[in-house]
Amino acid sequence: MNPNLDKLARAIVTQEKEAHAEAWLAVEAALRKLHDAMVSLVGAAGFAALLRRAIHLAKREHDWLGNLVIASPFSVEQLHEQAAIVGEGRTLDGGAALLATLLGLLCTFIGEPLTLRQVNQVWTNILAVRASSGGTSSGTKESE
């Protein structure tokens, strides 16, 4: 996994957690916003397929993700139920891992510049720099 995408995903989930009372709502909001930003580029079916693949890959480290079901149109079923079982911390960790994996797949599929441009349009206060660049990182923009 790309450490810069991990940092970016963690920053996104952390920001969403500030706006939502529960971890599962933060993860769901992050996935929904990414879906809305990407659907015009990859289509609803394409996004769902990439999300299913991301779940498959991320469940190696966060096995509870394997219980999630992606329905069409976009919905993540069983997220609330699984979050109640695993707790807030594991939900945030698994959600960030899932988001990082999904971002990695999107970078592969549509290209890193386009993926990060879309991320920057959704989360305007999070700096998404080139994920593969050696000395760069992703984080929150400082106030000017």
| 34 — pLDDT class (breaks 50, 70, 90) | very high
Question: Higher-confidence residue: 129 or 127?
Answer: 127
Give CA–CA dist 144/132, Å, rounded: 26
Q: Which helix (H) or strand (E) holds 7?
A: helix 3-19
pTM for this model (two decimals):
0.88
> Does residue 113 have a cis bond before it (omega within 30 degrees)?
no
pLDDT score of 2? 85
pLDDT score of 131? 52
Q: Which of 70, 136, 135 is nearest to 98 (CA)?
A: 70
Q: For the residues 41-51, what does the mean pLDDT come to?
A: 95
pLDDT score of 58? 97
Q: Please give the share of the chain, as a percent, with pLDDT higher than 90.
A: 81
Give CA–CA dist 120/70, Å, rounded: 25
pLDDT score of 126? 86
- Check whether 105 has a pLDDT greater than 90: yes
- Check whether 19 has a pLDDT greater than 90: yes
First to last CA, the chain: 32
Pairing between strand 69-71 and 139-140? unpaired
On average, the pLDDT of the chain sits at 89
- Check whether 141 has a pLDDT greater than 60: no
Question: Higher-confidence residue: 118 or 73?
Answer: 118
pLDDT score of 72? 72
Greatest Cα pair distance, the chain, in angstroms, is 43
In one-letter notation, the amino acid at residue 71 is: A
